[in-house]
Amino acid sequence: MSSGLCALLLAAALPAAAADNAVMDADFGRNGFVRVDSAQGDTAQDRAVGICPGPAGSQVLVGVRAESGMLTLARLLPDGSLDASYGVQGRVEYPIATPSGAPPRNLCLGDGRLDLAYTTPAGKIELLRIAASGQPDAAFGSGGRVGIDPAALPGSNSGFMTLRGADRGTGGEILLSGELGGSGIGDGRAALIRVNANGTLRDSRLLSGGTHAYGGYIAAAGYAPNGDLWIAGISRQDAGGNAGWCFTWFRQVLDGVNLAGDAVELGPVGPWVYSVHGGRMVRPGVMALGMHLYASAGGVKVPRLQILRATDSHEVELPLIAGYGEMAGSALNLVVMAGGERVMYAASLSGADGIYLARVNVGSDSTGDGLDAAFGRNGATVVAMPGQPPGCDAADVPMQWFARLSLWDDQPVFVGTVAADCQAASARDLLVGRISRVTDRIFRGDFGP
């Protein structure tokens, strides 16, 4: 964001208010939260990646030790305790190529099986399929791994790709999206790779020229009912005059068979900056994009949800919570709740002092879109790990960072990283938080569920 109004200065974060943990599931862990350390104990390198359903109501927590390239898997029982029958004392660990650039992405296959996608230090894309045992699935690729060289993609001019999104297609297909080349966010070419269910490369599409002449990246992909493939992300635009370079969201419609097509819908281009961090197909013909928006020069980063339909798009404003600052970093994720009528949005707050949650109704058209007032404080809230680690004083804050949002038997569950002691830089645990089912109940006049 090089010059003019788009070189925004962020306002200082407001003092932290008391978090609202009433939405947490009290039957899970400690007041809705569980801390998990790796088999090596607390380290400063541990960070959460995601969580996937396991057998018999369990969940498999996925983490990495970022600088040493170690994968950590932990299986949690429904009450949040470690499943001792999994690996060694509930954990499985083994080395992987050290993830580089954007955080790894996980895709759930069911019964504890999952795919992990990430960029290696050499800029290659690697897919790792993990079996229910926690070990690489030997039937997938070579020893459970598939490597993709971005330099070998048709039309490529770079050997480095930053992974921004991973989505399920049809029949087990994997849709990998991101940015090819570039020295900064949005400088490279938006890229999409389709991988068959068995790990073989199907095809790819690199965007350039026209709307994408100034660079960008793809953050989400999904199929519409007619078989078209919707891709969405950031397009770097010249706002003109003194505004400099700005980023805005885009959606492009591609032919689902051969990835041809150039029909593009572009968000506002001006002195504001949109930052797209992922999306989900909510139901056939409806996609939701999770975004941050720099609303004005000197303003703060605020949450937004863009709802895309075949014929229109609609931006839903999500409120900041009084007493807290802006959204932080690029950690943001959506989950589609049962029935495809609601979406939950989750992100870290600046200062790493809480996790922001909002729940949005997605109507049959834009008139039905909006915050679900039955959740939190009129649709949004902040939750935080209660209390402090032992030995901390009043000035110490149990720092926490959001990573991914998922579902645990239709209950929203988020994972992240939390300080293991008073000094956030010295040791970290993996964090799991589960939202209470009570927050999803709609009561009739007789108070029945």
Express each pLDDT in 192-232 by its tens digit: 999 999 999 999 999 988 888 888 999 999 999 999 999 99
pLDDT at 269: 86
Kindly state the tokens that stand for 278.
């992922």
Residue 367: pLDDT band (50, 70, 90) is very high
pLDDT at 364: 92
- DSSP strand E in 196-326: where? 201-206, 216-223, 229-238, 245-254, 263-266, 273-283, 286-294, 301-309, 313-317
% of the chain surpassing 70 pLDDT = 84
**List of residues 6+ apart from 87 with CB closer than 8 A:** 73, 75, 93, 134
**What's the rounded Cα separation, in Å, for the pair 430 and 400?**
10
Q: Which range among 12-26, 198-212, 392-406 has the greatest average pLDDT?
A: 198-212
Other beta carbons less than 10 A from residue 168's beta carbon: 18
Query: Of 356, 338, 143, 171, nearest to 256 (Cα)?
Result: 171
Over the chain, what is the mean pLDDT? 85
The HSE-up count of residue 217 (CA atoms within 13 Å, CB side) is 27
Residue 2: pLDDT band (50, 70, 90) is very low
Edge-to-edge order in the sheet of strand 174-180: 161-168, 174-180, 189-195, 201-206
Is the predicted pLDDT of residue 12 greater than 60, yes or no?
no
Express each pLDDT in 28-84 by its tens digit: 998 899 999 876 665 667 889 999 999 999 999 999 987 678 899 999 999 999 999
Render 373-440 in DSSP notation, one character per residue. Answer: TTTTBTTEEEE---S--TT--TT----EEEEEEEEETTEEEEEEEEESSSSTTT-EEEEEEEB-GGGG
pLDDT at 90: 95
Is the predicted pLDDT of residue 9 greater than 60, yes or no?
no
pLDDT at 441: 44
Burial label for 210, CB within 10 Å (0-12, 13-18, 19+), is exposed
Burial label for 279, CB within 10 Å (0-12, 13-18, 19+), is buried
Is the predicted pLDDT of residue 173 greater than 60, yes or no?
yes
**What's the rounded Cα separation, in Å, for the pair 425 and 407?**
29
Classify strands 273-283 and 59-65 as parallel, antiparallel or unpaired: unpaired
Express each pLDDT in 221-266 by its tens digit: 999 999 999 999 999 888 776 667 888 999 999 999 999 998 899 9
| Strand, coil or helix: 21 | helix
